[in-house]
Structure 1
Amino acid sequence: MNLYQKDLPDSEYFEELLSSISPLVTLDEHNRILYVNEPFIDQFPYCKTHKVEGSRFFDVVRLNRAEKEKFLRNVQMSRTERVQNCEFKTGTKIFGYTMFLFSGNTGIILKDITETKKLQKKVSNLHSRLLELQEKERQRLARELHDGVGQIVLAAKLNFISYQNDPIKFKDRFQTGMSLIDRASQELREIYKDLYPSTLSELGLETAIRSFVRDFLELKNTNASLNIHLSEKLPMIIEVNLFRIIQEVITNIVKHANATKVVLNLNHKKNIIHLMIKDDGIGFDESKARLKKDSFGLENIRRRIDDLDGNLVINSVPGKGTAYEIQIPLEKE
């Protein structure tokens, strides 16, 4: 007769009820097991080969010294109050548990939270990565402002001071200062454009793409063939990420490919956006590119595509150019 049969008239019903809930174990004052249900037996291999009732809890559930001491403190605490939201690690699994006083003994309800903890760690890592990216972006903007706008404004100020001290002798300095202010204003517009392209909201995705690709490829005298066929406006989150993906790819081509021609095709069919960007440059070995410190752009492309539940295929052969083929669903699964 087990612990419950002497206390309850309908013990079979109670046993069935206990077997349908989370893993459950009751311990006596010496931490020996009085009762376990089927879910508990399924979680711990020891129960398959040994008689569980009467066994010491720590023979069944293996804990390191620190985990064991914390567990025992919680057992003592459970004599006077319910102990909740605790956890321990045994082997590769992590369990959350609640302790409570039951007929003078310690009742413990367990829950396998291994996958939950893994997800929490992923979220934590992503959050850390986001903070790292934000800090890098702040540093980049600080450099842009200091090295670009800051120096130009300082030069303008010096010209205005000279003019103020002797307007006749330095009459040309005023116009020079005004020209520098115009230049600083243009620098600020370029920084803003890099943060969020105004053409994207004002004129739409196609115009923003054509403007960026044309202006950027001119730096390397690279010819561009753009075929864009979008019959309807896309969701803003997709438009912004598409534009950023294209920016990253084109930037990689200009910096590394030594290409003379770039082809960009963008369309959508059956709720799938298709983007293909191909160059006739020097190509690269993708597996080696992943290991380079400057491969952040490529990883950023992958991250944006993953966020949209999309797919990226890169076909590149050293000396024969590179093709980026991207598919993005209009509706995320």
Structure 2
Amino acid sequence: MQNETTKIALLVAIATLIFLLVPVFLILYIRSYNRHKKNHFLEKQNMQQKFESEMLQTRVEVQDQTMQSIATELHDNVGQLLSLTTLTLNSVNVNDEEKARKKIDNSLALVNKSIKELRELAKLLHGEQLVESGIGHAIDQEINWLNKAGTYELKVNNHLVDLQITSPDKDLIILRLLQEIINNIIKHAQAKQIHIDTYLEKNKLHLKVADNGIGFDPNEMKMKKSGMGLNSIYKRIEMINGKLVLNSAPGEGTSISIEIPYP
């Protein structure tokens, strides 16, 4: 009988202990869950802030690149055209009607060309609107700008011009990536030829840029960490869940292939 009483008391004690511990574990679980939930929310909030900060920086860089292009064009092209117009008009001899007419006609042609160039500059001033109208058009504008320099032999296959879908944030980053790659070619590659291919395949946007320049050792650049802005390029591609394949070697040129989920 005493054993039975002992067993019952033990069962009651165990049951009581379980009854007391269950709420404790439940409270601890709820607190742990809320803590993880809060940390997850803060992490998402932090990621969103970083993304917004990066987007702001990208917009500033695109605008800065646009302003540099406009300044160069005003100085090297429009400025020269207007100076030549002034010289031509100043040399007009009203007493020689035939030569005067020719010089005035030449001056009008120069003025019309200047107006055309200024219209192109006006398009650049609306760079973000250009991106919003489609990444294909934005890439076209950048390529046209590169082509105007007359320094490179360009081979371009841009299959994004008629793209019906857009992703403004990604488009802005893609445009900036192209600008950075082209700037690297201009500053470092000593290239004569540039090939640019863009297309959309299976919900992935592909951007490929290759040059026949002096090339470099990618492993060496990674060790330097700051070489040629590659860190910035990799960071932006990672931000939009993209992939980058870089192939280069000294004396063998460089090719960069970017793949980005799109839109």
Q: Same fold (TM over 0.5)?
A: yes
| Paired residues of 1:213 and 1:250 also in contact (CA < 8 A) | no
Q: Number of residue pairs matched?
A: 205
Structure 2 CA distance, aligned partners of 1:229 and 1:110? 49
Partner of residue 199, structure 2: 267
Partner of residue 229, structure 1: 159
- Cα-Cα RMSD: 4.7
More helix by share: 2
Shift of 1:279: 0.9
- The correspondence for 1:315, drawn from 247, 250, 263, is 247
| Paired residues of 1:220 and 1:254 also in contact (CA < 8 A) | no
SS for the counterpart of 1:196 is helix
Partner of residue 28, structure 2: 22
TM-score (norm 2): 0.57
Long gaps (5+) in structure 1? 1-8, 25-95, 98-108, 149-178
Structure 1 CA distance, aligned partners of 2:128 and 2:34? 49
Structure with bigger RCO (C-alpha 8 Å, 6+ apart): 2
Shift of 1:243: 2.2
- The correspondence for 2:125, drawn from 181, 184, 192, is 192
Q: Percent identity between the aligned chains?
A: 24
- The correspondence for 1:209, drawn from 129, 134, 139, is 139
Is the alpha carbon distance of 1:122 and 1:218 closer, same or farther for their aligned partners in structure 2, counting shifts above 3 Å?
Answer: same
1:236 partner amino acid: S
Is the alpha carbon distance of 1:227 and 1:322 closer, same or farther for their aligned partners in structure 2, counting shifts above 3 Å?
Answer: same
Q: How does 1:1-333 map to 2 (within 5 A)?
A: 10-22=16-28, 111=35, 119=43, 123=47, 126=50, 130=54, 133=57, 189=122, 192-193=125-126, 196=128, 198=130, 200-201=131-132, 204-219=134-149, 221-230=151-160, 232-237=163-168, 238-290=170-222, 291=224, 293=226, 295-296=228-229, 298-330=230-262
Shift of 1:206: 2.8
Deviation sequence 1:271-291 (CA, Å, 0-9, x none): 122221111111122243343
Structure 1 CA distance, aligned partners of 2:176 and 2:54? 17
